[in-house]
C-alpha cells in the first residue's frame, strides 16, 4: 500500500503513517528500529529494496532520504509504503529540495520510532565523517560502504578510519567476516606461532587493507599487501615455522584451504549480497570494538607509510544544530582519538 504526499512536513507524514497502518488493518507496531537510508535519485530504488529485504529479519521503519538541490523554494515530498515486499515494517521515501535539503534531520527526527535504536546507512557516497553528518548524528549506528566512495578508494578508507567514532562501521569490514572466520578456524586447526603474512587482492580494495590491518593488530606481525586482478581478495597466507597456512580464492566463490601437513580442501567462500551484509550489521547495534582496533591499526600503518593526514571533518556540516533539536536520547557520540603510533609497516600500498 502506498500514499504520496507533496509539499508536506513531518507531522503530516507521521499522521499519514498512522492512517496507513490503520487502513492496512494492522495498527500495531512490532518494529524494533528505525533505519535511515541516505540516498539519491539514482540509487534509492536498489537501496530501499535491500532495506525492505532486511526488515524481514529486523522489522524496521525505513526512512529513505533524498537530498536534492538546495536551491529554490523549500519542499518536502513523501512516499509512504506499508507492508512492502512481505516486510513487516513500513517505509517513507523523503525527497527534500530547496533550503530544507540542508536540514534533512529536521524532517527525520520527528519520524524516528520512539525509544528504539536508530541506524543510518549510506548505501553509496559515504560522508567523510559520518558522525558529524547531521543525519548520522541522529543515529547510534552509522553504516557506510567505502567501496562506493567516488574518490580514490584507499585514501577514502584512511579518511573513514581517521574519522572513526564508536558506532561507525563499514560494509567493507562486514564483507570480511567469512574470511576472518575461516582464518580463525585455520588457527584452531593449526595453532602455530605466526611469523608473518600476506593479503593479496585487487589493487584498490578497502576490505583487503582492513584484513591486513586486523591480522597485524591481532598477530603483532607485519602483513604484506600484494596485488592481483581480483575479484576482491584472492589469497591470504600466514607464515609459520612449519610452512604456510593459505586460503586462495581465485574466482570469488570457491576457496582452497591449506594448512601444513594436510591435503588442500575446498571451502565455499562466497561474496555476499548487500542485504546479507546489512542484516549482519543490524544484529548488533553496540559499537564494534574489534573494528575500532582495526581502524586504529589502519591509521598506524598509514602513518608509518608516511601518508599525509587528510584534513579532518571535510564535510563541515552543522552537527550542533541537530544536537540541540534532538531529544535527550539522541546524544552526539564521543569521538575517540585514533592512537597514532607507528608499529608495523607496509600494509597500505
Partner 1 sequence: MIQVPQADPNPLRDPQDRRLPRIAGPCGLVIFGVTGDLSRKKLMPAVYDLANRGLLPPGFSLVGFARRDWADQDFEQIVHDAIREHSRTGFREEVWRQLAKGFRFVPGDFADDVAFSQLRDTIEELDRERGTAGNHAFYLSIPPRFFPDVVAQLKEHGLADEHIGSWRRVVVEKPFGHDLKSAQELNAIVSEVFPPEAVFRIDHYLGKETVQNILALRFANQLFEPIWNANYVDHVQITMAEDIGIGGRAGYYDGIGAARDVIQNHLLQLMALVAMEEPTSFDAYSLRIEKQKILRSVELPSRLDLHTARGQYVDGWAGGEKVKGFLQEEDIPKDSRTETYAAIKLGIDTRRWAGVPFYLRHGKRLGRRVTEVAVVFKKAPHLPFTETATEELGQNALVIRVQPDEGVTVRFGSKVPGTAMEIRDVNMDFAYGGAFVESSPEAYERLILDVLLGDPPLFPQHEEVELSWQILDPIIAYWGNHGHPEPYPAGTWGPKSASDMLARDGRVWRRP
Distance of CA 20 to the CA centre of its chain: 31
Give CA–CA dist 176/54, Å, rounded: 19
Q: Residue 178 interacts with partner 1 (CB under 8 A)?
A: yes
Residue tagged 593449526 (cell numbers): 190
Q: Which residue intervals of 193-273 are DSSP H helices?
A: 206-219
Say which residues have a Cβ less than 8 Å from residue 155's Cβ, sequence separation at least 6: 307, 310
By CB under 8 A, which span of 37-45, 160-168, 179-187, 222-230 interacts with partner 1?
179-187
3-state secondary structure 103-114: HHHHHHHHHCCC
In the complex, minimum distance from the CB of residue 177 to partner 1, in angstroms, rounded to a whole number: 5
Task: Confirm if 227 and 349 have CB atoms less than 8 A apart.
Answer: yes
In the complex, minimum distance from the CB of residue 22 to partner 1, in angstroms, rounded to a whole number: 12
Site for partner 1 (CB under 8 A): which residue of 86, 306, 328, 337? Answer: 86
In the complex, minimum distance from the CB of residue 281 to partner 1, in angstroms, rounded to a whole number: 9
Tell me the torsion sign for CA atoms 44, 46, 48, 50.
negative
Q: Residue 187 interacts with partner 1 (CB under 8 A)?
A: yes
Angle between helix 289-304 and 206-219 (nearest 10)? 100
In the complex, minimum distance from the CB of residue 178 to partner 1, in angstroms, rounded to a whole number: 5
Closest CA to 194 of 169, 174, 219, 226: 219
Q: What are the φ/ψ torsions at residue 310 (nearest 5 degrees)?
A: -70, 155
Task: Please report, as residue ranges, which positions from 229 to 268 form the binding site for partner 1 (by CB under 8 A).
Answer: 253-254, 257, 259, 262-263, 265-268
Q: Residue 113 interacts with partner 1 (CB under 8 A)?
A: no
Closest CA to 42 of 159, 169, 150, 168: 150
Mask of contacts with partner 1, 121-160, x by CB under 8 A? ----------------------------------------
In the complex, minimum distance from the CB of residue 154 to partner 1, in angstroms, rounded to a whole number: 23
Task: Confirm if 47 and 39 have CB atoms less than 8 A apart.
Answer: yes
Task: Please report, as residue ranges, which positions from 13 to 42 form the binding site for partner 1 (by CB under 8 A).
Answer: 28, 30, 32
SS3 at position 202: coil
By CB under 8 A, which span of 42-50, 143-151, 175-183, 300-308 interacts with partner 1?
175-183
Residue number with CB closer to partner 1 (105 or 246): 246
Site for partner 1 (CB under 8 A): which residue of 289, 306, 328, 334? Answer: 289
Q: Residue 57 interacts with partner 1 (CB under 8 A)?
A: yes
Applying CB under 8 A, which residues contact partner 1? 28, 30, 32, 53-54, 56-59, 86, 88, 174, 177-178, 180-189, 191, 194, 215, 218-219, 253-254, 257, 259, 262-263, 265-270, 276, 279-280, 284, 288-290
Amino acid at each position: 500500500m502506498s500514499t504520496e504526499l507533496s509539499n508536506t512536513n513531518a507531522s503530516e507524514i507521521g499522521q499519514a503513517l498512522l492512517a496507513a497502518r490503520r487502513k492496512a488493518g494492522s495498527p500495531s507496531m512490532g518494529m524494533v528500529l528505525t533505519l535511515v537510508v541516505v540516498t539519491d535519485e539514482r540509487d534509492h530504488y536498489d537501496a530501499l529494496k535491500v532495506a525492505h529485504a532486511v526488515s524481514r529479519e529486523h522489522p524496521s521503519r525505513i526512512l529513505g532520504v533524498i537530498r536534492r538541490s538546495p536551491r529554490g523554494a523549500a519542499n518536502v515530498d513523501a512516499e509512504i509504503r506499508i507492508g512492502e515486499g512481505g516486510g513487516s515494517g513500513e517505509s517513507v521515501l523523503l525527497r527534500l529540495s530547496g533550503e530544507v535539503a540542508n536540514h534533512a534531520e529536521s524532517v527525520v527526527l520527528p519520524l524516528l520510532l520512539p525509544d528504539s535504536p536508530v541506524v543510518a546507512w549510506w548505501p553509496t557516497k559515504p560522508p567523510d565523517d559520518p558522525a558529524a553528518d547531521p543525519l548520522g548524528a541522529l543515529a547510534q549506528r552509522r553504516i557506510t560502504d567505502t567501496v562506493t566512495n567516488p574518490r580514490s578508494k584507499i585514501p577514502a578508507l584512511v579518511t573513514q578510519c581517521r574519522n572513526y567514532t564508536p558506532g561507525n562501521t563499514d560494509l567493507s569490514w562486514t564483507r570480511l567476516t567469512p574470511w576472518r572466520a575461516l582464518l580463525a578456524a585455520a588457527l584452531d586447526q593449526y595453532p602455530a606461532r605466526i611469523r608473518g603474512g600476506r593479503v593479496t587482492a585487487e589493487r584498490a580494495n578497502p576490505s583487503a587493507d582492513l584484513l591486513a590491518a586486523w591480522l597485524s593488530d591481532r598477530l603483532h606481525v607485519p602483513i604484506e599487501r600484494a596485488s592481483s586482478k581480483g575479484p576482491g581478495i584472492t589469497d591470504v597466507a600466514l607464515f609459520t615455522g612449519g610452512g604456510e597456512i593459505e586460503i586462495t580464492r581465485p574466482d570469488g566463490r570457491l576457496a582452497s584451504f591449506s594448512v601444513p601437513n594436510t591435503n588442500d580442501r575446498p571451502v565455499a567462500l562466497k561474496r555476499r549480497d548487500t542485504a546479507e551484509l546489512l542484516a549482519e550489521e543490524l544484529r548488533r547495534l553496540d559499537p564494534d570494538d574489534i573494528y575500532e582496533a582495526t581502524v586504529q591499526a589502519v591509521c598506524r600503518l598509514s602513518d608509518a607509510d608516511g601518508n599525509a593526514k587528510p584534513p579532518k571533518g571535510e564535510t563541515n556540516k552543522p552537527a550542533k544544530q541537530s544536537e540541540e533539536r534532538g531529544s535527550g536520547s539522541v546524544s552526539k557520540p564521543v569521538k575517540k582519538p585514533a592512537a597514532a603510533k607507528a608499529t608495523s609497516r607496509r600494509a597500505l600500498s
